[in-house]
Chain A
Amino acid sequence: MSTTTAMGGARPFEPSTLEHERRAFRRSRKRRSVLVSVASTLVFAGVLALALTSSPGWARVSATFLNPEIAVDALPRILKGLWLNIQVLFFAAIGVAVFGTLLAVARTLKGAVFTPIRLLAAGYTDLFRGVPLLLVLYIVGFGVPGLELTGRMPAQFWGTIALILTYSAYVSEVLRAGIEAVHPSQRLAARSLGLSHAKTLRLVVMPQAVRKVTPALMNDFVSMQKDVGLISVLGAVDAVRAAQLEVAASYNFTPYVVAGILFVLLSWPFIRITDWVTARAQKREQIGGVV
């Protein structure tokens, strides 16, 4: 830390020459490190750009993948498709949070009475982590409507269901790891206060478990955000499908790149917000240090 606050208020804190010398050294070291990292990043980016643009096929590739006119032209329709992705993502995330938590809790239940539930949950996660999402989409999207249990539902509805089924299996395993990482003494303390098993889980274990696995959960969330694009195989016109239609119309691949950039932009704020929230909680609840 380079800033100093006067301790106690009575006498302003004046560091010794030794401390001044140390600070000057730290400052110069910091300046040097920043310069080195900036320079090396620039050199690396420059080499990469040079290698790309001087390649023999660059002119053709940039014309078919990076055509600004086609990008501008395709953008409104891809954005409209992306809005569908966001809606599906919204409902799928809620569904996964609920179903994934239930699965995780089911797997951590103790006692012989719960053995069937535990086995069922374990079987479910084994199955749905093993089956490729694409197959789940086909089976749910084309098979389940054939049962005629519901009226005609749009493709994105079945896509959302398929995403929930698959991602809940992944998320429940992450949450289970979090639940098991909360020290048993926390449960003991909660139960000794008279809290029921359910309340202990909800108020004491789950909040701590979720914190422990937030980065892993975020990983799954971002992964799901991309896989939302797969609902296009059911015929839903999302960003990927919209880009596909544009590509078919213009014989140019730029719309795919546009869709790709949009997906990255979509995930970016979530990642940053989670990092910020996690860091803030850590700073608030724990005593920091230099290392």
Chain B
Amino acid sequence: MSLAGGSADAPVLRVEGVVKRFGEHTVLDGIDLTVDRHEVVVLIGASGSGKSTLLKTVNLLEQIDDGRILLGDEDITDPRVDADRVRARIGVVFQHFNLFPHMRVLDNVTLAARQVFRTPRAEAERTGRALLERIGLGEKAREYPDRLSGGQQQRVAIARALATEPELLLLDEITSALDPQLVGEVLDLVGELKASGSTIVMATHEMSFARRVADRVVYLRDGRIIESGPPEQIFDAPEREETREFLSRLREPFA
């Protein structure tokens, strides 16, 4: 997967002092985060810690209340920026797949290429079919999403996000709605994306997967980054007491 745009070694994403409030409640409280090209950053933290909101603000699906977010060299939180054009540069995969049930799998995958990038249908479908072949769903191109299993649907959703070769991929708890035996096929695909050089920010509860695939793990709590570092540090020798507590509670939920 080639990655378009930006200078060679500039970070793909820079989040600077981002604040997001819902009424009196501060969901993101001054987040700073830099993501380099080909880097896989995994966000961990309890429900309500701000992982999903952070991903939404990066994709401009939520408006921030302070700070700024840069995609490549461009400040995308500038209100003069065309939000649709920014979103087209970022691929997003949601917890509940959100495939379009009235479109065939191939049409789901090629929609953005055809409608946003004005790629001719034949060309978009060639790319789309190749992508579906790659994720092992080539024979499902003509099916409707609701006839696929959860794991297959989520793989199609990933293909849809990849179809226009985004600079950055945001994965928002993409395995949380799947049966345990279907989680593997989706995570394998994410591992493959990492190997092919995609830049990924993902929120997840799958700690063993986070350890395996992450270049950097970021622990969020109450909208603040508590600790950030390589997986070995975070999982084996966390520096902060809060991180230790969170991880031990995950390991022994009934303790």
Decide if B101 touches A285 in the complex (CB within 8 Å).
yes
Complex Cα gap A287–B145 (Å): 10
Q: Describe A's contact surface by its main secondary structure.
A: helix
Nearest-neighbour CB distance to chain B for A278, whole angstroms, equals 13
Q: What interface size band does chain B fall in? A: 20 to 34
Complex Cα gap A192–B59 (Å): 7
Q: B96-110 vs A: 1/0 string, CB under 8 Å?
A: 101111100000000
Task: Specify the chain B residue showing the minimal Cβ separation from A286.
Answer: B146
A:157-213 near B, CB below 8 Å: 185-186, 188-196, 199, 203-204, 207-208, 211
- With contacts A192-B61, A193-B88 taken as known, whether A285 is within 8 angstroms of B147 at the C-beta atoms is yes
Decide if B146 touches A193 in the complex (CB within 8 Å).
no
User: Using Cβ atoms and an 8 Å threshold, which residues of chain A touch B116?
Assistant: 193-195, 199
User: Using Cβ atoms and an 8 Å threshold, which residues of chain B touch A280?
Assistant: none
Decide if A284 touches B144 in the complex (CB within 8 Å).
yes
Nearest-neighbour CB distance to chain A for B110, whole angstroms, equals 11
The answer to whether B43 has its CB under 8 Å from any CB of chain A is: no
Complex Cα gap A212–B154 (Å): 24
User: Using Cβ atoms and an 8 Å threshold, which residues of chain A touch B59?
Assistant: 192
- With contacts A285-B144, A287-B146 taken as known, whether A194 is within 8 angstroms of B94 at the C-beta atoms is no
Query: Which of A194, A195, A284, A285 has most chain B Cβ within 10 Å?
Result: A194
User: Using Cβ atoms and an 8 Å threshold, which residues of chain A touch B7?
Assistant: none
User: Using Cβ atoms and an 8 Å threshold, which residues of chain A touch B160?
Assistant: 193
Decide if A188 touches B98 in the complex (CB within 8 Å).
yes
B:94-144 near A, CB below 8 Å: 94, 96, 98-102, 111-112, 115-116, 144
Complex Cα gap A263–B96 (Å): 47
The answer to whether B245 has its CB under 8 Å from any CB of chain A is: no
- With contacts A185-B94, A189-B94, A286-B146 taken as known, whether A195 is within 8 angstroms of B102 at the C-beta atoms is no
With A195-B112, A195-B115, A208-B102 given, name 4 new contacts (CB 8 A).
A190-B111, A203-B111, A285-B146, A286-B146
Chain B interface (Cβ < 8 Å from any Cβ of A): 59, 61, 84-85, 87-90, 92, 94, 96, 98-102, 111-112, 115-116, 144, 146-147, 160-161, 164
